[in-house]
Amino acid sequence: MGVVEDLADALAKDTLEAADAIDDPNLVDEVSGVILAQSQTLQEAFMTAIRVRRSERAGRRFLDTRIAAARAGKAAPPPPTSDNPDV
């Protein structure tokens, strides 16, 4: 990755960890606003990194749930959809 993507991804990782640690779902938007005031390019890369990291978390949760269900001999949960991403 380039410097913009590297910086954005590192900040996205730290921001998501901090938002979880302090239980503040608005932190991502606040950091995004601070970045946007300085660099639209970095802000766009930051938000892309946020979406990618959140998506990876969701995929991993689903995978872990499927594996646990299979090991327990239970029916697999339905996969999330764009209409119902929290299934």
Residue 38 φ/ψ, nearest 5 degrees: -110, -40
Domain ranges in the chain are: 3-71
**Region label for 13, one of left (φ > 0), alpha (ψ between -120 and 50) or beta (otherwise):** alpha
Query: Both tokens of residue 77?
Result: 């949960």
User: What is the predicted pLDDT for the residue at 8?
Assistant: 98
Residue 84 has pLDDT above 60, yes or no: yes
| pLDDT band at residue 74 using 50, 70 and 90 as cut-offs | very high
The rounded distance, in Å, linking the Cα atoms of 77 and 68 is 10
- Tell me the chain's radius of gyration from C-alpha atoms: 16
